[in-house]
Amino acid sequence: MLELEVKVKVDYESLRRIREILRNISLSHKTIKQEDHIMSLKPDEQKFVKIRIENERRKVIVIVKRKVKSKFKVHSEKEFHFDNIKPEILINLFKELGYEEKLIVSKVREEYMLSDSIKACIDEVEGLGTFLEVEVISKDLKEGREKLERIIEYILSKAGIKHYRVINKSYIEMLLEEKMGDEGLNTDGYDDVFAP
Examine the pLDDT at 47 and tell me if it is beyond 80. no
- Degrees (nearest 5) of the Cα angle 61, 66, 67? 125
pLDDT band at 174; cut points 50, 70, 90 = very high
Examine the pLDDT at 107 and tell me if it is beyond 90. yes
| Beta-bridge mates of residue 76 | 2, 66
3-state SS assignment for residue 156: helix
Q: What is the pLDDT of residue 104?
A: 94
User: Which residue ranges make up each domain of the chain?
Assistant: 2-194
Examine the pLDDT at 115 and tell me if it is beyond 90. yes
Q: How far is CA 58 from the centre of its chain?
A: 20
47 or 40, greater pLDDT: 40
Examine the pLDDT at 21 and tell me if it is beyond 90. yes
Examine the pLDDT at 191 and tell me if it is beyond 50. no
pLDDT band at 69; cut points 50, 70, 90 = low
* pTM of the complete model: 0.81
Residue 13 φ/ψ region, left for φ over 0, alpha for ψ in the -120 to 50 degree band, beta for the rest: alpha
3-state SS assignment for residue 171: helix
| Mean per-residue pLDDT of the chain | 83
pLDDT band at 194; cut points 50, 70, 90 = very low
Closest CA to 53 of 104, 100, 4: 104
Q: What is the pLDDT of residue 193?
A: 35
Examine the pLDDT at 68 and tell me if it is beyond 70. no
70 or 66, greater pLDDT: 66
Q: What is the pLDDT of residue 192?
A: 36
Closest CA to 162 of 194, 132, 191: 194
What CATH number is given for 2-194 in this structure?
2.40.320.10
70 or 131, greater pLDDT: 131
**Cβ atoms 101, 20 nearer than 8 A:** no
Distance CA 65, CA 45 (A): 10
